[in-house]
Amino acid sequence: MSDKMQRIVLASRPTGEPTDENFRLETIDMPTPKEGEVLVKTHYFSLDPYMRGRMDDAKSYAAPVPIDGLMEGGAVGEVIASQHPAYQPGDFVFCMTGWATHGIAREPALQKLDPNLAPISTALGVLGMPGFTGWYGLTELGKPKTGETLVVAAATGPVGSMVGQIAKLRGLNVVGIAGGAEKCRMATEVYGFDACVDHRAFDTARDLRGALKEHCPKGVDIYFENVGGKVLDAVLPLMNPFGRIPLCGMIAWYNAGALGADASTEAITGPRLWRTILVNFLSVNGFIISNHYDRYPDFLREAGPALAAGRIRYVEDIAEGLESAPAAFRAMLKGGNKGKQLVKVI
């Protein structure tokens, strides 16, 4: 075993869109696990939109990544050394070892995986945090009912695709919003959505709204919010009375830094937003999935068999090599990924 490993750290805080200069690739000594710990050789790690928020030194639900600190995130890999009696070399695990070739992990942020049940990469996507986020937000906050209309933004991402597929299994009319004709085809042909609208084909929220109305003739009962910006402006006036909006993400604004830092955010703040919520009796629920992991076994009981039976499908976008992570991350923030964005380390 090599006595060195590599990792990517936060070299500086971005202003707006991250650049190469905000990241640094380092070679450091291989760590040694202590009692209760394991050393993991990373096979894949996850790139997720929430990581952009962690790059800012701003108050949030979690502490920011410190300057010179490891870029954090979920990973899957193989145990190569263990000081934990329940884990042996050769075991495959999920862990939170971040953007690195190796890492030290310990419970509770350490879970054994069975590669015979599903590829280990699925623990970072369809059967992991993103899939669980979509399932929980829809079922617990969206409260779907057969025959209702759901609109989901970022429809072909790992969260949005789970939302749409679970909604279809529960008998809803599902309309996606995605960036580009190829992603819209993926939404309907791979994930089984009833329709998908390309937001990049429309310059204004008004025009996008008009296209959505064609697929939502009875209005929108549930809007699963992943995006914000123009997409939110387009959907909000279509919401039916007593509609529900699970608020999961706002990727259109993440590169603006702390919320409110960019004047473009004013489009949906203030009287118009709140009046629309008031007069339509809307329920808007922001949520962070880390607060709800007591429901993760319930998610697996529904999603696991559905995945095995082909009723839920998934797509992975895999960047090769640790050094590819910053470019893949930047592209993902602008919608450049097709499916769950992963980095394959080995």
Within 118-174, residue ranges assigned H as helices are 129-136, 158-169
Secondary structure of residue 299 in the 3-state scheme: helix
Let me know if 3 is exposed, middle or buried by CB neighbors in 10 A (0-12, 13-18, 19+): exposed
Residue 44 and residue 76 in contact, taking contact as beta carbons nearer than 8 Å: yes
The per-residue pLDDT for 262 is 43
Cis link prior to 108 (omega < 30° from 0)? yes
Residue 93 and residue 77 in contact, taking contact as beta carbons nearer than 8 Å: yes
Residue 163 and residue 169 in contact, taking contact as beta carbons nearer than 8 Å: no
Q: Which residues contact 201 (CB under 8 A, 6 or more apart)?
A: 211
In tens digits, the chain (346 residues) has pLDDT values of: 679 999 999 999 999 899 999 999 999 999 999 999 999 999 999 999 889 989 998 777 778 999 999 999 999 999 999 999 999 999 999 999 999 999 999 999 999 999 999 999 999 999 999 999 999 999 999 999 999 999 999 999 999 999 999 999 999 999 999 999 999 999 999 999 999 999 999 999 999 999 999 999 999 999 999 888 889 989 999 999 999 999 987 765 655 554 444 434 445 555 677 788 888 899 999 999 999 999 999 999 999 999 999 999 999 999 999 999 999 999 999 889 999 999 999 8
Q: Which residues contact 117 (CB under 8 A, 6 or more apart)?
A: 304
Tokens at 205, concatenated: 């929220």
Tokens at 278, concatenated: 């008031």
Q: Among positive and negative, which fits the CA dihedral 164, 165, 168, 170? A: negative
Region of 316 (left: φ > 0; alpha: ψ -120 to 50; beta: rest) is beta
- Domains of the chain (ranges; CATH) run 4-124+315-344 (3.90.180.10), 129-290 (3.40.50.720)
Spatial distance between the Cα atoms of 101 and 84, rounded to a whole number of angstroms: 21
Residue 175 and residue 151 in contact, taking contact as beta carbons nearer than 8 Å: yes
Distance in angstroms between the alpha carbons of the first and the last residue of the chain: 15
Q: How wide is the angle at C-alpha 12 spanned by C-alphas 20 and 47, nearest 5°?
A: 60
Q: Which residues contact 279 (CB under 8 A, 6 or more apart)?
A: none
The CA-atom distances, in angstroms, between 198 and each of 20, 59, 90, 182 are 29, 34, 45, 9
- For residue 155, the 8-state DSSP code is T
Q: Which of 343, 345, 346, 337 is nearest to 158 (CA)?
A: 337
Q: Which of 280, 234, 228, 283 is nearest to 259 (CA)?
A: 228
Q: Which residues contact 284 (CB under 8 A, 6 or more apart)?
A: 244, 245, 247, 277
